[in-house]
């Protein structure tokens, strides 16, 4: 789906989180950044994925990673999702889809025989210099941290 690949410069994104705080790629310079895109807050797969990342958060921090979740949900929905499951990382409320489009994860999907446009569950691992180290398109929601951490 996305045209971005390992070795590409990460998009210079800017988006607001559940509390209205702005996050940009530059904010994470010097850290490794995991940007995970998920279709919808509080749905079973997205909850499993985010909870797995939460449960492994100390391992991410120990290896100089920051995490950033992104969906097209409203700030209110993202805040509810974050608070309900006590996520220690911000969730961007990308309602205008500017970050989603920058990473190229919006497009046609099929579910139960119906076609529609939506977010393709994709994770980008960006190194300290802002270069993409990995693009994970086959996300295992219940064991996603294992796909990212060495």
Q: Could you write out the DSSP letters of every residue in 46-115?
A: HHHHHHHHHHTHHHHHHTTEEEEEEES--HHHHHHHHHHHT-SS-EEE-TT-HHHHHHT-EEEEEETTEE
Active site residues: 46
- Beta-bridge partner residues of 32: 65
Q: Cβ(122)–Cβ(2) under 8 Å?
A: yes
């Amino acid at each position: 789906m996305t045209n971005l690949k390992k070795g590409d410069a990460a998009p210079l994104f800017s988006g607001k989180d559940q509390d209205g705080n702005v996050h940009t790629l530059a904010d994470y310079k010097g850290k490794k950044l995991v940007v995970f895109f998920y279709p919808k807050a509080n749905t079973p797969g997205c909850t499993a994925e985010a909870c797995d990342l939460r449960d492994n958060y100390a391992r991410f921090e120990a290896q100089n990673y920051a995490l950033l979740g992104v969906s097209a949900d409203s700030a209110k929905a993202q805040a509810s999702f974050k608070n309900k499951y006590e996520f220690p990382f911000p969730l961007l409320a990308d309602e205008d889809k500017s970050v989603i489009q920058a990473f190229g994860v919006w497009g046609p999907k099929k579910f139960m025989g119906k076609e529609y446009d939506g977010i393709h569950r994709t994770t980008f691992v960006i190194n300290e210099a802002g270069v993409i180290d990995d693009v994970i398109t086959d996300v295992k929601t219940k064991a996603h941290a294992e796909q990212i951490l060495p």
